[in-house]
Amino acid sequence: MENKNMSQNRRQFLKSSVAAATAIAIPSMPLFSQRSKKQFNTSGKMKLSWTPYDLQLNHTFTISGFSRTTTPVVLIKIGYDGLEGYGEASLPPYLGETQASVIEFLKKTDLSGFTDPGHIEEIMVYVDGIAGGNTAAKAAVDIALHDLAGKMEGAPWYKIYGLDKYNVPDTTFTIGIDSDEVVREKTREALGRFNILKVKVGGADDKRMIEAIRSVTDLPLAVDANQGWKDRHQALDMILWLKEKGVVMVEQPMPKQDLDNIARLTEESPLPVFADESIQRLSDVERMKGVFSGINIKLMKCTGMHEAWKMRKLAYGLGMKVMMGCMTETSCAISAAAQLYAGMDFADLDGALLIGNDCFKGATLENGKIIASDQPGIGVKPVKELTFGR
Ligand code: MG
């Protein structure tokens, strides 16, 4: 627990950082105008390099339709005037990007026309225009720019945004579809570390999975159907049953394009219903109003922190709920997400906790919450030798 002085100091700091946060919304304006030009030679060049990396999952990961034991990622580094910014593209196979496609995209990304990594808006407009799609590749660049810009400012991004890093929702911890015995074992492993569990549903095993978890714990549960329920009446029956079992929210109950049926389901559902597969980017947010109760923002879907921040503000402006999600990722991308999710309704940021070979140290699990570090930028350090190249 923090003492009163620390809390007062933080409030004072947050007050003084409102100006910086306001500047984020204004394109083509230097983000950190108070920065000393002497300290940073803004005529320097940004050097982009990368390395492919395979994440080893602690447990075989099964959602409706897929099983896998690894997730490919591409880690990137942008060097600038003696500083290094880190970023990551996580590439679960069902989303279509690969290590090869990310590297191809990065080879086309020419940052030589920009003189200051703090001009994130301007740079990301360029990056987004290189080609369509490639959202994880774009997110990697965005995250590395944020890391650099925050390091130049000497502040972690949650402070620049004006957020209280402790005012965050508990992260869910995902229990994959498995035998009762394995489900009970995974649930026992989670006890004492997490305050809410997430269950992948949407198949024939739904009730069995929930009952297996309930034989071990009464912790609240979130469920993610990953579009698995095909019929609105079946979905509502399941939601009513799940509510009785202590489930508190439902993610993507039905196929992503079936918005009319989802809207009717959300209206009848006693639990909040969140969009995941139905929503990608900022331009999708507005049409989710009246269809879902809230949206799941993931950096890999929305091209990174700059757009995630805008999605968050727009969704709250529309009266919707917001959650922060993730893929299986290292602590690099998770730490980036941890900078901007304070005040959200739900969080699913267990991605780095599901892997055995995390190569970054950053945000940490504390009392069931993912808490950003106080290091500047996105707040990460590599914990093993990574060889970045082109
Ligand atoms: Mg989901």
Same domain, yes or no: 205 and 284: yes
Residue 27 lies in a domain: yes
Same domain, yes or no: 130 and 221: no
Q: What is the CATH number of the domain that holds 141?
A: 3.30.390.10
Task: Tell me the pLDDT band of 20, cut-offs 50, 70 and 90.
Answer: very low
Q: Ligand 1 mean position to 275 CA, how many Å? A: 8
Same domain, yes or no: 251 and 140: no
Query: In this predicted structure, what is the pLDDT of residue 23?
Result: 38
Nearest to 103 by CA among 69, 132, 140, 129: 140
Q: What is the CATH number of the domain that holds 248?
A: 3.20.20.120
Domain encompassing residue 215:
161-381
8 Å CB contact between 266 and 292: yes
Q: Ligand 1 mean position to 15 CA, how many Å? A: 35
Same domain, yes or no: 210 and 96: no
Task: Tell me the pLDDT band of 41, cut-offs 50, 70 and 90.
Answer: low
Q: Ligand 1 mean position to 200 CA, how many Å? A: 8
Same domain, yes or no: 96 and 149: yes
Residue 209 lies in a domain: yes
8 Å CB contact between 263 and 290: yes
Same domain, yes or no: 80 and 44: yes
Q: Ligand 1 mean position to 172 CA, how many Å? A: 12
Residue 297 lies in a domain: yes
HEC assignment per residue over 61-120: EEECCEEEEEEEEEEEEEEECCEEEEEEEECCHHHCCCHHHHHHHHHHCCHHHCCCCCCH
* Ranges 25-29, 197-201, 296-300, most confident: 296-300
Averaged pLDDT for residues 2-29: 39
Averaged pLDDT for residues 111-133: 96
Number of domains in the chain: 2
Count of residues in the chain: 390
pLDDT over 70 (residue 18) = no
Helix (H) or strand (E) holding 13: helix 4-16
Task: Tell me the pLDDT band of 204, cut-offs 50, 70 and 90.
Answer: confident
Query: In this predicted structure, what is the pLDDT of residue 307?
Result: 98
The model's pTM: 0.89
Neighbour tally for 310: CB within 10 Å: 17
Write out the two tokens for 93.
Answer: 């196979």
Q: Ligand 1 mean position to 277 CA, how many Å? A: 7
Task: Tell me the pLDDT band of 62, cut-offs 50, 70 and 90.
Answer: low
- Protein residues near ligand 1, an ion, with CB under 5 A: 224, 251, 276
Residue 100 lies in a domain: yes
Query: Domain end: 106, 124, 154, which one?
Result: 154
**E strands in the chain:** 47-63, 66-80, 83-90, 172-175, 196-200, 221-224, 247-251, 273-275, 294-297, 321-324, 346-347, 360-361, 364-366, 369-371, 381-382
Task: Tell me the pLDDT band of 43, cut-offs 50, 70 and 90.
Answer: low
Query: Domain end: 109, 129, 154, which one?
Result: 154
Task: Tell me the pLDDT band of 230, cut-offs 50, 70 and 90.
Answer: very high
Q: Ligand 1 mean position to 54 CA, how many Å? A: 21
Same domain, yes or no: 266 and 316: yes
